Amino acid sequence: MKIPKNIEPLVQDGVVDDVIRQLQSGKEAAVYLVRCGTDIRCAKVYKEANNRSFRQAAEYKEGRKVKNSRRARAMEKGSRYGRKEQESAWQNAEVESLYRLGTAGVRVPRAFGFYDGVLIMELVTDKDGNAAPRLNDVELEPDQAREFHRFLIEQVVLMLCAGIVHGDLSEFNILVSADGPVIIDLPQAVDAASNNNAERMLNRDVENLAFYFGQYAPELLQTQYGKEIWKLYSEGNLTPETELTGQFEEALEPVDVTGVLDEIEAALIEEFRRRERELANDSDSDE
């Protein structure tokens, strides 16, 4: 096939020997099957920001640190240079997350290098050696659904212990390899400690898993792993070995009745005064 423009420099430099075919094109990137020496790998080519359906929402970028002060100022101002640097930081976030999570033992593809908007990484395969399907393309038996769900909850815990929340985890961002689920697509991953949206994102990730696997094993719909996991994390008690129950008791705080009544009274007084001012202004206008 014709070599994509972004991959041409990698072919010229000998990083990639051949582009075999396109595997898929998603909301943020196109993925190609490439040959690197004797190995078959993936080349993820990120789309330009204006050609992506997924936008770099502020909630995902919150807490990401930029060491270079000039770059940080440019990104904040939104200049042409700043937008380019912002795009680079967005892409590099996935590379950094893959290395960080791989070291932590999370099942993610192995990264081999990042070259100006092109990420070379491991090809995840099924038992026949073909490119692994996405989870949403696989039919599951109830027991298999329960096993995959249990495994992925463990992966969520491992990720959080490494300080990362996926932020967009669903059946569309999980491959089913010969050895089980593999988590992919991480450019929107957030730092759990510095992003104020991390708790909500983690709960959403876990709820997505429960909803999907609950189609095959309905009892999973009743679990509350996300809230349980975050509570343990926020208290400093979460480890990869933590045994979870999937249950969570909401803390019922006593209602401050006196405080509520005081607020209502204050609101009524303010409304009374506002109407008095309006009447006074109307009288002045009549005069």
Known active-site residue 39? no
Known active-site residue 168? yes
Kindly name the residue from 116, 126, 185, 191 that is annotated as catalytic.
185
- What is 195-258 written as a DSSP string? -TTHHHHHHHHHHHHHHHHTTTSGGGGG--HHHHHHHHHHTT---TTPPP-S--PPP-PPP-HH
Q: How far is CA 182 from the centre of its chain?
A: 14
Residue among 225, 221, 226 nearest 210 (CA): 221
Kindly name the residue from 116, 168, 256, 286 that is annotated as catalytic.
168
Q: Check: CB of residue 218 under 8 Å from CB of residue 90.
A: no
Residue among 212, 206, 207 nearest 145 (CA): 212
Q: Check: CB of residue 75 under 8 Å from CB of residue 82.
A: yes
Q: Check: CB of residue 184 under 8 Å from CB of residue 106.
A: no
Active-site amino acid positions: 168, 185
